[in-house]
Amino acid sequence: MSDLRKHAKTVLAGQNIETPSWAFGNSGTRFKVFGQQGVPRDPFEKIADAAAVHRHTGAAGSVALHIPWDKVEDYPALAAHAAEQGVSIGTINSNTFQDDDYMLGSVCHPDPGVRRKATDHLLECVDIMDAVGSTDLKLWFADGTNYPGQDSIAGRQDRLAEVLAEVYDRLGEGQRMLLEYKLFEPSFYHTDVPDWGTSFAHCSQLGDKAQVVIDTGHHAPGTNIEFIVAFLLREAKLGGFDFNSRFYADDDLMVGSADPFQLFRIMHELALRDAIGAESGIAYMLDQCHNIEPKIPAVIRSVMNVQEATAKALLVDHEALTAAQASGDVLGANAVLMDAYNTDVRPLLAELRGEQGLYADPVAAYKASGYAETIVETRRGGQAAGWGA
């Protein structure tokens, strides 16, 4: 086996791709949510489904929670349940976009009472982090305006900075906040955190515990996401990813389904910096809307897509690439990348799974396990989890 293959298997063996609890519930578009049988009814069942993904992939050892969608009375009990299932609770995601009070914004709202309500929710999320042993608080704000003159753009930035500072000061040892950005929607004139530069500026002002998180669907068409990755890595401000795919806007499709070459290019920049393993401190998470596809198989397929893109990125011959770049060999440098991208890495991943005691094909293994039939039978009655539940 070549040194590149050995290194790739070592890195892949330690890779973790966090799954989102909400991906297992009923979700959809602004127009319709299609209900499915067997979806979880509470956070405990969501974690059980996340554990099923990990059992078959060996690469999804943590599950993110969304508050208040995943509120429970006893968070230590939820964390203990996760441990029993063989996974851990990862990122805590806040929600300041589904309350009537937030119609004109949350942390940037002109009313100090509404801002206080939003801030208290964020502080509650840090309390939950303490209770479950989470290290990451993810913040995404739907705040913005729809019309010119609706509110002060600069004033809203001041309000945002004030709230972020209060939450930042509440973070404990080993905890951090990850500030997400989004080009547009649901605000259409301007968004208060529209791009990586805005997020980067606020995080830089706050300090080392604040980092930028990249959602791969939150950019204008044609944006070079791997440049953003490279820049933030250089500045030690890349905190994590929300992986998904898009054709038009924030489609939240399965990662690697629309543009697998883009995913490879992103993973290549990370591989160049040895920033894929847990020691990098970068949180890799899926954030997808499984609307018409079965939930658990779709999440498994997404994990596999990330693994395949990562494997290809790890097979890039950096020595040959550097030599071609240094000599100005444009076509040669590009060919090094393309050779790695065009490599069929499925045999390598099948070999790795065999060494881990897993089946070569996680999707087929899941189908054969009978888990899908079991949850359809046992999860009768009650309220199926979904957006807002």
Alpha helices in the chain (DSSP H): 3-13, 43-57, 75-85, 112-132, 153-170, 196-206, 225-234, 260-272, 295-314, 318-326, 330-341, 346-355, 362-369, 371-378
pTM for the full predicted model: 0.96
Distance, CA of 143 to CA of 128 (rounded, Å)? 23
What does the pLDDT read at residue 388? 53
Distance, CA of 41 to CA of 349 (rounded, Å)? 33
Q: Specify the pairing of strand 144-145 against strand 190-191.
A: antiparallel
372 by DSSP, 3-state: which?
A: helix
Q: Specify the pairing of strand 88-93 against strand 136-139.
A: parallel
Distance, CA of 325 to CA of 319 (rounded, Å)? 10
Distance, CA of 245 to CA of 254 (rounded, Å)? 6
pLDDT tens profile 189-238: 999 999 999 999 999 999 999 999 999 999 999 999 999 999 999 999 99
What does the pLDDT read at residue 33? 85
| Cβ-based neighbours of 347, under 8 Å, separated by 6 or more | none
For residue 326, give Cα distances in angstroms to 270, 329, 334.
20, 8, 13
| Cβ-based neighbours of 173, under 8 Å, separated by 6 or more | none
φ/ψ (deg, to 5) at 125: -60, -35
pLDDT tens profile 115-145: 999 999 999 999 999 999 999 999 999 999 9
pLDDT along the chain (389 residues), means of 10: 89 97 87 88 98 98 97 98 98 96 98 98 98 98 98 98 98 98 96 98 98 97 97 98 94 95 98 94 95 95 98 97 98 98 98 97 97 95 75
The CA dihedral of 308, 296, 362, 262, to the nearest 10 degrees, is -10
Structural domains for the chain:
15-316+360-378 (3.20.20.150)
Structure tokens at 44: 């405990």
Distance, CA of 114 to CA of 129 (rounded, Å)? 23
Structure tokens at 268: 């290549």
Structure tokens at 21: 């609890």
Structure tokens at 318: 């950096």
